[in-house]
Structure 1
Amino acid sequence: MSLSYDILPLTLVTGFLGSGKSTLLADVLQGDAARDTAVLVNEFGDVGLDHLLIGEVDARTVLLDNGCVCCSIRGELKDALATLFSQRARGEVPPFTRVVLETTGLATPAPIVATLLADPVIRSHYALNATITVVDAVNAAEQHARFPEWLAQVTAADRLLISKPDLVDETHLMELAASLAALNPAAEILIRGDISNATGIDRHSGRALLDMLFASASSIDLIGRLGRAQRLASTAPKTNGPLAHRGERTSTGAGSIQSFCLQIDAPIDWQVFTIWFTMLLNRHGDKILRVKGLLSIAGSDRPAVLHAVQHLVHPVLHLDAWPQAGSGSEGCSRLVFITEGLGRDAIEASYARFQHHLEEAVH
């Protein structure tokens, strides 16, 4: 049977320089896992090394050597993905069923996501499965303070994997997890390794890491994630947190990072919401770092999953049922926004005004 027209899931693995992306893939992609996986490795600089750290992954590994995938070689990323798919269709490489793209540590995910979502050729062959960001437990504070790329990687993530937990104490780990939950409450926060579990956060190693890497972002329980983020904030030590030690961006004031949940109790008219959301991103997309939510659509008992990064909206997915049935969350739309210089009040007022104008037009 020909595999040439399959749509393959692609997992984006990002994280700042030295965070442990290549180590993660080297540990996970062994044996049977490697045989079914194609790996695209992007590297910064003239000489590529990460593919040597990952090891042999046959001809399915394509190394991009010419610079940052998010800027100067976006065209090459498209070409590499198209070539890889053509080789698979012609039988020149084994018939892998999933793809991992490891970015350079200096990449911002949004342009990469744009290539995956906006290019019609790539979109017909690949579907973005999840974005995983590896966070260095030791150096997160300094990277957050000095490099905007770090923040772009964290806010774009569906999953945040904290690496090097054995090099910090448990208090630091709890503070970091709480700070990350404040920056991106829609993301799952995972800790690599088998050390003690006093934080209550999932620890992943071995097979669990493989499952984490390839699980779809649509499987993330957004409502449960919000509850766990709130519990992390309430149980973390009462300090400024490791990300505040060297100039953390505050949650107030112009140019600041905010995260908040917009709740809409009544079922949503899909056409009305789509028009409003499109206009919102057209006007404020540069300030909207991430949106993730579950929507209750009028006339449907299946929740819709919405993902957006800046101006880019992922294809909308529909779950079979609401998560955490019986919790009172069914039928209530919740949208998590991560914004810079754009507050909750402005977005809520925008939605209210839009609805009001439509109601006036109808009457």
Structure 2
Amino acid sequence: MSLAYDILPLTLVTGFLGSGKSTLLADVLQGDAARDTAVLVNEFGDVGLDHLLIGEVDARTVLLDNGCVCCSIRGELKDALATLFSQRARGDVPPFSRVVLETTGLATPAPIIATLLADPVIRSHYALNATITVVDAVNAHEQHARYPEWLAQVTAADRLLISKPDLVDELRLTELARMLTALNPAADVLIRGDAATAQGVDGHHGRALLDMLFASASSIDLIGRIGGAQRRAAVKGALAHRGEQASTIQSFCMQVDIPLDWQVFTLWFTMLLNRHGDKILRVKGLLCIADSDRPAVLHAVQHLVHPVLHLDAWPPAGEGPRRCSRLVFITEGLGRDAIEASYARFQHHLEEAVH
């Protein structure tokens, strides 16, 4: 994803209380790796402490207090981001090229994403790059059962980073990875300290973590993930592993083999979200549009749709799925059959109207 010179990529880091977000950022911000990174810390309560764990709050860091109420954080977040950009433009702070926003552990991502996507001032200066959710390996199962905020954070993520893997055995870690894959098959599941996050304490450690944070959620590797055989097998195994566990959360891939009429698709998708947005936790898709050689990337969280991006090209034959549209849905109380039937009915009614 290429951005205009004055539009900065912003990565949202979320995760439940005690999951290890601040520890992650403390590692990321070591040395020269994060010299051009600005950090905003949103904390819960009257006294902010996370910034003490991350490091001294300097001129490039804005500390947000009392951010657990969505309406409060939305106004405060807008002001903080606008102020930060103005300071950068005036030269009041050292130049930076990217921003990390750490949320409170009790925050649901949707209102924050809404601010980043919908506010015209914020959109003119920042683009949401990816959402990273840190998952506590020790307490994840209990938090899943007790707190809806945990589920909202997991299903909104582009990447799920399991923290504290050394405190659980290998079987429990594998079970957690399977559960996360079942809940959000559109996300990459990484383990803190494994090869994907460059375990180590040398100067390359912070850079590797920073690269993980700022890899675009809409990059070309999305083609290989959505609907890929390995992903489908992982989801199938994860769902089988859950067995008879009572849950209304479903994840599935909807495939459309013929090129989409863009106007028809967007009208259907808008109507779908207007009616069922509260049941559609996450959508991530790769679209084959009629009269276009460029695949389109679609992201949505509940009622919120990210700006659609167009990749430069489809991958060469044999390096990715064939050219068709694939949409990964994560829903609650809304199944594959209902969504696919909705699209089929919509297409049928349009054809009847034309004829």
Question: Which TM-score applies when normalising by structure 1?
Answer: 0.90
Deviations 1:92-149 (A, max 9, x none): 1111100000000000000000000011011111000000000011100000000000
Query: 2:117, 2:237 → 1: CA distance?
Result: 38
Equivalent in the alignment of 2:110 = 110
Q: 1:70 to 1:268 in 2, by over 3 A?
A: same
> 31-40 or 152-161, which moves further after superposition?
31-40
Match of 2:135 in 1: 135
Q: Percent of pairs identical after alignment? A: 83
Task: State the shift of 1:278 in Å.
Answer: 0.6
1:177 equivalent in alignment to 2:177:
yes
- Correspondences of 1:1-363 after superposition (within 5 Å): 6-56=6-56, 58-68=58-68, 70-194=70-194, 202=196, 204-205=198-199, 206=205, 207-219=207-219, 220-224=221-225, 226=227, 227-233=229-235, 240=242, 249-250=246-247, 256-323=248-315, 325-326=317-318, 329-363=321-355
Which is further off, 164-173 or 49-58? 49-58
Aligned in 2, Cα 1:225/1:162: closer, same or farther, shift over 3 Å? farther
Secondary structure of the corresponding residue to residue 93 of structure 2:
coil
Q: For residues 148 and 237 of structure 1, do their structure 2 counterparts lie closer, same or farther at Cα, with a shift above 3 Å needed?
A: closer
- The structure-2 alpha-carbon separation of the partners of 1:323 and 1:171, relative to structure 1 and needing over 3 Å to count, comes to farther
Cα distance in 1, alignment partners of residues 294 and 240 from structure 2: 40
Aligned counterpart, 1:253: none
Matched-pair contact (CA < 8 Å) for 2:45–2:66: yes
Displacement of 1:323 in angstroms is 4.2
Shift of 1:203: 5.0
Displacement of 1:237? 12
For residue 72 of structure 1, report the CA deviation from its aligned partner: 2.6
Query: Which residue identity is paired with 1:24?
Result: L
What residue number does 2:202 align with? none
Residue-by-residue CA offset, 1:299-337 (whole Å, 9 max, x unaligned): 111110000011111011111222474257221110000
Per-residue deviation, 1:21 = 0.4
Measure how far apart 1:275 and its partner are: 0.5
How far 1:5 moved relative to its partner?
6.9
1:232, CA displacement in angstroms?
3.3
CA distance in 2, matches of 1:300, 1:238: 38
Residue aligned with 2:278, SS: helix
CA distance in 1, matches of 2:167, 2:38: 32
Shift of residue 68, structure 1, vs aligned partner:
1.5
Is the contact made by 2:262 and 2:290 (CA closer than 8 Å) also made in structure 1?
yes
Q: 1:33 Cα deviation (Å)?
A: 2.6
Give the SS at the match of 1:17.
Answer: coil
Q: Give the root-mean-square deviation of aligned CA atoms.
A: 2.1
In 1, Cα distance between the equivalents of 2:116 and 2:69? 12
| Distance verdict in 2 for CA 1:37–1:280, change over 3 Å | same
Q: Aligned partners of 2:69 and 2:8: how far apart in 1? A: 20
How far apart, CA to CA, are the structure 2 residues paired with 1:270 and 1:225? 20
Alignment deviations for residues 164-204 of structure 1 (CA, whole Å, 9 cap, x no partner):
1111111111111111111000001111114xx8xxxx454
Q: Distance in 1 between matches of 2:26 and 2:309?
A: 31
- In 2, the alpha carbon distance for the partners of 1:262 and 1:273 equals 13
SS of equivalent residue, structure 2 residue 277: helix
Within 1, Cα distance between the matches of 2:85 and 2:26?
Answer: 23
Q: How far apart in 2 are the matches of 1:267 and 1:5?
A: 33
CA distance in 1, matches of 2:239, 2:121: 49
Separation (CA, whole Å) in 2 of partners of 1:297 and 1:23: 42
Q: Distance in 2 between matches of 1:274 and 1:314?
A: 13
Q: How many residues are treated as equivalent by the alignment?
A: 344
Would the alpha carbon gap of residues 222 and 132 (structure 1) be closer, same or farther in structure 2, given more than 3 Å must change?
farther
Contact 1:16 1:105 in 2 (8 A): yes
1:221 deviation in Å? 2.2
Query: How many angstroms apart in 2 are the aligned matches of 1:146 and 1:7?
Result: 39
Report deviation, 1:223.
Answer: 3.7
Range moving further from structure 2, 316-325 or 126-135? 316-325
The answer as to whether partners of 1:161 and 1:191 remain within 8 angstroms in 2 is yes
Q: Per-residue CA shift, 1:14-65, capped at 9, x if unaligned?
A: 0000000000000011222332011000000011011111113521110001
Q: Is the 8 A contact 1:165 1:173 kept in 2?
A: yes
Per-residue Cα deviation, 1:193-228 (whole angstroms, up to 9, x for no partner): 14xx8xxxx454323222101111012425435533
